[in-house]
Amino acid sequence: MKAAFALCAVALLLTAQAQAEIRDPVRLDTGRIRGMDTAVDGIRVFKGIPFAAPPVGDLRWRAPQPAPSWSGVRDATKFGNICIQPPGRGRLNIAVLPDSPPMSEDCLYLNVWTPADSASDELPVMVYFFGGAFTEGAGSIPLYDGTALAEKGAIVVTMNYRLGAFGFFAHPALTADSDTNSSGNYGLADMLASLRWVQDNISALGGDPDNVTIFGQSAGAMAIGSLVASPMSKGLFNRAISQSGSWMGLGMSAGMRTLESAHEAGIRQATAAGASTAAALRALSADDVVRHLRSAGMMVDGWIIPEDPSDTFAAGRQNAVDVLVGANKEESFFPGGPGAEQFETQARAQYGDAAEDFLALYPHATDEEAAASSARTFSDGAFWLSRIYANYQREIGKNAWLYWFAQNPSGGNGPDFPATHAAELPYVFNNLGQLPLYPDGSSAYFAGKSAPDALVADQMASYWANFARTGNPNGPELPNWPAFSGMDRVDAAILDAEPMTESLPSIEIMKVFDRRYRNMRMAN
């Protein structure tokens, strides 16, 4: 009898476990979907969900429109098309490998990894905006697989946004033909559309639409900085993580491109393509768009970005959201650098009355020293940018956390690779065995077997998920991460297996960058 009771209890337990996750079909506002289990028990994934209508034909170069509804149950076990992009300029683009989804203008799809037991769980939601210079990338890249991050208790969403000239092209004819008297920032509009989809649908997948964090790297981080400044994104997210980038780019900027400037470039390119009207532009083949038109990047469009975000942040008009921001120790991915004489000449032109202090902090007696200092300046500048970003949010009463990623990814039998631009991504997603975003000297195979790398990856995924949950990255069994406390100190977490072996950029360096920025702002 006892044995039978025990067997019955086990059967009931197994049944409860089988039911204790989001099951098919899931009803969205556009129809029902069927997902799939991942390799991790309790984590389900729903792929290729349309969050907007295909931006093709008359919808090319328009704000994203609502996705059409469907009947029956839609298969959500395969990724949707990726947006049109180049194969990689002199290197591999991991978004367009042989087994990647096909490229198409019809590419506005997102993917959801959920650890929820039921639709009532109200888990924190993390929406990822990928990097790639606004010209390449996709939410389907294996590096961005959300399974391991979802194991930390957050729902993970990845998405596609229009790239290159499809996502960031401005022309007076398109502006005149729009409902917003604007053109250009279509990729940002896609990001906003994905966030509106989250507001409308994530509850069905166990998420809390009132607890949404956006996170992104490089171009994705730049977009996030601009969305934090944008009135169009108010109420769509509570927290933001910018990895190596902000509205200024990767370093100090005198100002964002204007719509007028983008118009001028757009007219020249469209004229060369033989198109001068909105209808003629939309009639161009996709190949002709790629051949003749270029991305203008983010711009002050009077719509999503109504003014230069630097002005928005300086005036405290940005969205009141918590931020976690930072940079990598070896951000520079440009080989070589200026010689000693050129380094000093550039410094005097850029730093003005702060030039002597700058030159005293960066050795440049030889060409080798100058090249090394140039690379260090780039990384320190990216850290400074994250720091001022954090301070702007702190000044309006929000939580702000700053980091310095210094872990050197494993190089296998060779030397470890420096913590360069994008090196943190396998750690954030806890996907050490995947190909890195940019080919480098690290080894995904050996990093996946490295205990120090595994430690940092587990810590970083925990920090990111904790921040998404509460606005504070700290948690049990994690090294303490000090909150950013202001511009008189350098408060930051050093993300490294041995943080005591690393040091942050000094307060003296940060103050020199502060002076340069003040001078730049006053000149404008």
Catalogue the E-assigned strands of 303-457. 322-328, 400-405
Pair (287, 330) in one structural domain: no
| Among 309, 332, 355, residue at a domain's last position | 309
Task: Judge whether 11 lies within some domain.
Answer: no
Tell whether 214 and 348 lie within a shared domain.
Answer: no
Mark whether 383 and 462 lie in a shared domain. yes
Q: Please tell me which residue in 218, 310, 374, 386 is annotated as part of the active site.
A: 218
How much is the pLDDT for 465? 98
Mean pLDDT, residues 289-304 taken together: 96
pLDDT at position 319, please?
98
Res. 163: pLDDT tops 50? yes
- Spot the catalytic one: 421, 424, 442, 443: 421
Residue 17 has pLDDT above 50, yes or no: no
Q: What does the pLDDT read at residue 437?
A: 82
pLDDT for position 408: 86
Same domain for 423 and 510, yes or no, is: yes
Please give the Cα distance from 136 to 162 (Å, whole number): 9
Residues 222 and 339 occupy one common structural domain: no
Do 300 and 266 share a structural domain?
Answer: yes
348-375 residue pLDDT tens: 999 989 999 999 999 998 999 999 999 9
Q: Is residue 4 part of a domain?
A: no
Strands 44-50 and 109-114 come out as: antiparallel
pLDDT at res. 23 = 87
Is-catalytic flag, 218?
A: yes
Per-residue pLDDT at 520 exceeds 80: yes
Residues 288 and 332 in one domain: no
Cα within 13 Å of Cα(410), Cβ side: 24
Residue 210 lies in a domain: yes
Instruction: With cut-offs at 50, 70 and 90, classify the pLDDT of residue 414.
Output: low
More reliable by pLDDT, 509 or 3: 509
CB 125 within 8 A of CB 150: no
Last residue of a domain, one of 271, 289, 309: 309
Q: What is the mean pLDDT of the chain?
A: 91
Statement: residue 202 has pLDDT above 60: yes
Report the pLDDT averaged over residues 3-7. Answer: 43
pLDDT at 403: 98
Average pLDDT for residues 376-386, to the nearest whole number? 94
Residue at 86 is within a domain: yes
Q: Report how many domains make up the chain.
A: 2
- The arithmetic mean of pLDDT across residues 485-510, rounded, is 93
Q: Residue 334: is its pLDDT beyond 50? A: yes
Q: What local confidence, expressed as pLDDT, does residue 92 receive?
A: 84
Least confident of 1-5, 133-137, 251-255: 1-5
Percent of the chain surpassing pLDDT 70: 93
3 state DSSP class of 49: strand
d(CA 310, CA 241): 18
Measured from the Cβ of residue 114, the count of other Cβ atoms closer than 10 Å reads: 30
Residues 99 and 232 in one domain: yes
The distance from CA 198 to its chain's CA centroid, rounded to whole angstroms, is: 17
DSSP classification of residue 385: H
Is the domain of 305 the same as that of 352?
no
- Predicted confidence (pLDDT) at residue 105 exceeds the cutoff of 90: yes
β-strands 207-217, 155-159 pairing:
unpaired
pLDDT higher than threshold 70 for residue 276: yes
Is the pLDDT score of 18 beyond 90?
Answer: no
**What are the start-end ranges of the H helices in 254-354?**
259-272, 278-283, 286-292, 309-314, 340-351
What are residue 166's phi and psi, to 5 degrees? Answer: -70, -30
pLDDT for the residue 524: 73
pLDDT score recorded for residue 439 = 66
pLDDT reported for residue 442 = 67
Q: Which pLDDT value is given to residue 145? A: 97
**73 belongs to a structural domain:** yes
What integer is the mean pLDDT of 32-54?
A: 96
Q: How confident is the model at residue 472 (pLDDT cuts 50, 70, 90)?
A: very high
Residue 11 in this model has a pLDDT that exceeds 70? no
Q: What is the CATH number of the domain that holds 456?
A: 3.40.50.1820
Cis ω on the peptide bond leading into residue 499 (within 30° of 0)?
no
3-state helix, strand, coil in the chain (%, to 5): 40, 15, 45
For the chain, the residue count is: 524
88-112 burial, b at 16+ Cβ within 10 Å, e below that, comes to eeeeebbbbeeebbebebbbbbbbb
Does 14 map to a domain?
no
Residue 16 lies in a domain: no
The per-residue pLDDT for range 66-96, each reduced to its tens digit, is 999 999 999 999 999 999 999 876 678 989 9
User: For residue 13, is pLDDT > 50?
Assistant: no
- Residue-level pLDDT at 441: 63
What single string gives the DSSP state of each residue in 117-179?
Answer: SSTT--EEEEEEE--STTTS--TT-GGG--HHHHTTT-EEEEE----HHHHS---HHHHHTSS
Q: What is the pLDDT of residue 3?
A: 45
Do 77 and 202 reside in the same domain of the chain?
A: yes
Q: Structural domain of residue 173, as residue ranges?
A: 24-238+250-309
Mean of pLDDT values over 97-117: 96
Average pLDDT on 104-131 reads 97
Decide if 263 is catalytic: no
Kindly name the residue from 331, 364, 410, 450 that is annotated as catalytic.
331
Assess whether 456 and 378 both reside in one domain: yes
Map tokens 């998420």 to a residue: 207
Of 258, 290, 309, which residue is a domain's last? 309
Residue 228 lies in a domain: yes
Residues 457 and 389 grouped into a single domain: yes
